[in-house]
Structure 1
Amino acid sequence: MSFTRIQGILHAEQCNLEQVAKQFGTPLYVYSKAAFEKHYLDLHQAFEFIDHQICYAVKSNSNLAVLKVLAKLGAGFDIVTGGELARVLAAGGDPSKIVFSGLGKSEADIQKALEVGIACFNVESYAELDRIEQVASRLNKIAPISLRVNPDVDANTHPYISTGLKENKFGIPSDTVLETYQYANTLPHLKITGIDCHIGSQLTETQPFVDALDRVIAMIEQLKALGITLEHIDLGGGLGVVYQDEVPPTAKEYADSLKPTLEKLGLKVYLEPGRCISANAGVLLTHVDLLKPTNHRNFVIVDAAMNDLIRPSLYQAWMDIQTVSPNDADVKTWDIVGAICETGDFLGKERELALTPNSTLAVFGAGAYGFVMSSNYNTRGRAAEVMVSDDQAYLIRERETIESLWEKEHFLPEE
């Protein structure tokens, strides 16, 4: 475990998080290098039975230091924007291990991806096929593509992170997959290399993955009958993690559930994990500013807010919150809220905690969709980020200053 207690005080690896909070200030994202490495290697080793490539989903946590740690282990990357492509390249990622997903790739994004030589574009519409064809033709290049198919499988997850149903915006509808592949096969600057699906995020059982794979394999067989053969299958991401009391499959259980079918299929396998690598590799540290007990509810106002961590407000996500150090205060039921002028500004509600005005709190599971979704709402600078390695803590992103927030703004000319 990368986050454990030593003499009652929460540590990240061998770093005392009370001391880390004092050194770097709060709000503060703290990541464990060892946890990132373990989560990646667990998945990589679970799929050793077949030719595969783990492509870390950059959207879950895109800090350059995080990307570099994973790149050194041989990770590929799943990107959804040109900005994420630039980040991966800046961190030393191998372009030939990049898959480019996402609904709205611009011509500039496509051109850069073709120039550096990515592994594959995951395509989601006729219009996108045409756009990639046009850019590839202009550059006199062949673009490797797969189609992201929508298998209409219920992932049994939050509706905002379910992506594999026919009413979702993602992928090629299952009833038009064959004709879309046939159209792609007519475009001279495209090379069909695979098929891709991603049914959602935070899945806590293997059956939806198995169901989606079965439906995609049926499509592969139909494509073979049309003379279209593939080199790889991309199963996306979505493997869940523990936030509260979930019991998601382990990496091995996930791989074992797919192993017989994948071995029989015989194609190279791409995976796009994000949350299961990054979520529990990070915590958000926040300092108690004020205690506000009332006759109805007890509020604790902390220096982190929904602009720093929006998951509880946006997804109604439950994230474990603990004091970093023990104290002698009485345990009470608290709502942990920020200072932003929104009723939806909370990190957790009805938590049993012993709090003092000087307590430091840790929000667990914050390594995924934490900093990357943060904002400057209410003119608040975004948090700093730190990575620990054994007994050392390294600043990997500086805290934003207030002045930096308007450095690109301009007044109208004086009249």
Structure 2
Amino acid sequence: MILTAATTDLFAFGEERLEELASAHASPFFAYDLAAAGERYRRLRRALPARVRLAYAVKSNPGLPLLETFAAEGAWFDCASAGEVSAVLAAGGTGSGMVVAGPAKSERDLQAALFAGARVQVDGIEDVARLNALHTGDRPLPVSVRVNPASGVSEGATIIGGGGPSAFGVDEEDLEAFVAEAAHHERVRITGLQVFAASNELDAGRLLTNHRTSMVIARRLQELLGRELDLVDLGGGLGVRYAVSEPSLDVRALGAGLGRVLDENPWFTGELLLEPGRWLSAPTGVYCARVVRTKVSRGERFVMLEGGINHLLRPLMTGQSFPTLAVRPGVGVLGGGAFGDLTDLLPTTLAGPLCTSLDRVGTGDLPADLRPGDVVVFGQAGAYAYTQAMTHFLSHPAPDQVWVG
């Protein structure tokens, strides 16, 4: 059975390697392809104008080998906690290529950002006031302000973006008052903007529409400040597909469109920043869990696995399943799913070992002859998986992580 061009971005590794991994490692486990991660970064970098920097969103997967891979490629990093700042520094990243965000930054978070020399993205006047008290340098501390747009943004899924009421940032309609109040804190200087207006977006045109809205806000901010902005952070939102039927994000169209955005705004002489996380990390990882048993309950087929929402929480949170296929150790990938023949497949609910009816890790069409000992492989599991899950719930052991160079 041969992996087709239509499915290779759903699962890391080829079919033979998936069978080798499933045979060699105790279930459940995650496996990541570091070479694929480096190539993903280089592919996106080639597609973008030189004035667009890339900051890997550490929240999507903070694994040290992955951070080291991106640091070696010259990536910036988007951090959301003191722990993420420390991880990036341990991986060889530097504060000069780091932004620190979050709607409720602790004193520890701010201290870590200052220690590293990172740029803080302030979410309100409270951040400005605390940084003004903490900063001891001879020059004002440059920061960016996150703005919650009043309108002009759209997204397919509201996770941390959007234009409605938000815990994040300064509402656009309050921006003038914020700038006036921030001016009283002379040890802090606003020199940048951040707008995050999408999550897992697959339409380059929709992303570009949101980015143009961000540039309108940036121009207004620059006029209010009376000085040039050096950085406009357009946030993340670069999406990956979770089903064969979904389109892939056209990163070349995104890059060409960002070039036009820069041309349309000659007043802006600084740099743009993108914060991709999922797009870079998701296709590099798989999650593998062995089948314990199968059953039919009132007409619904269940497959119970050795791992559940204690390892993969995203399907419960979003209602969207990871792509799946089945491997029989010593045999190989079983027919169907994303790989080839669609016969002899049955709709299947995948459940874990936890004593709660919430323990559902998705649905999919899996082979009718699936049996105990087979391994279900979840694709796109390099992002929002291992560290997002309920690892300690019911005290099951944490899954292994296998890093393949």
Give the TM-score normalised by structure 1.
0.85
How far the C-alpha of 1:132 sits from its partner, in A, is 1.2
Across the two proteins, how many residue pairs are aligned to each other? Answer: 379
Q: Which residue identity is paired with 1:311? A: R
Q: Does 1:371 align with 2:371?
A: no
How far the C-alpha of 1:15 sits from its partner, in A, is 6.5
Identity of aligned residues (%): 28
Other-structure match for 1:398? none
How far the C-alpha of 1:280 sits from its partner, in A, is 1.1
Other-structure match for 1:62? 62
Other-structure match for 1:96? 96
Other-structure match for 2:76? 76
Gaps of 5+ in 1: 390-415
Tell me, yes or no, if the aligned pair for 2:12 and 2:284 is still in contact at 8 Å: no
**Cα gap change, 1:89 to 1:13, in 2 (>3 Å):** farther
Tell me, yes or no, if the aligned pair for 1:164 and 1:199 is still in contact at 8 Å: yes
Other-structure match for 1:30? 31
Other-structure match for 1:164? 162
| Higher RCO (CA 8 Å, separation ≥ 6 residues) | 2
- Is the partner of 1:77 in helix, strand or coil? strand
Q: Does 1:127 align with 2:143?
A: no
Gaps of 5+ in 2: 6-10, 336-342
- State the alpha-carbon separation in 2 of the partners of residues 256 and 342 from structure 1: 48
- Is the partner of 1:314 in helix, strand or coil? helix
Tell me, yes or no, if the aligned pair for 1:114 and 1:143 is still in contact at 8 Å: no
Matches within 5 A, 1:125-274: 125-137=124-136, 142-151=140-149, 152-159=151-158, 161-226=159-224, 227-244=226-243, 245-263=245-263, 264=266, 265-274=268-277
- Is the partner of 1:220 in helix, strand or coil? helix
Q: Which residue identity is paired with 1:340? A: L
Tell me, yes or no, if the aligned pair for 1:237 and 1:271 is still in contact at 8 Å: yes
Deviations 1:149-180 (A, max 9, x none): 11244433223x14231312222111112332
RMSD value, Cα: 2.3
Tell me, yes or no, if the aligned pair for 2:199 and 2:236 is still in contact at 8 Å: yes
Tell me, yes or no, if the aligned pair for 2:76 and 2:98 is still in contact at 8 Å: yes
Other-structure match for 1:402? none
Other-structure match for 1:411? none
Deviations 1:210-242 (A, max 9, x none): 333333322333334341321111111101111
- Is the partner of 1:371 in helix, strand or coil? coil
- State the alpha-carbon separation in 2 of the partners of residues 357 and 267 from structure 1: 57
Deviations 1:61-104 (A, max 9, x none): 00101100110000110001001101111111122100001112
- State the alpha-carbon separation in 2 of the partners of residues 314 and 221 from structure 1: 36
How far the C-alpha of 1:11 sits from its partner, in A, is 7.4
- State the alpha-carbon separation in 1 of the partners of residues 355 and 104 from structure 2: 33
Other-structure match for 1:53? 53
How far the C-alpha of 1:327 sits from its partner, in A, is 4.8
Deviations 1:114-138 (A, max 9, x none): 12211x111111111111111114x
Tell me, yes or no, if the aligned pair for 2:154 and 2:210 is still in contact at 8 Å: no
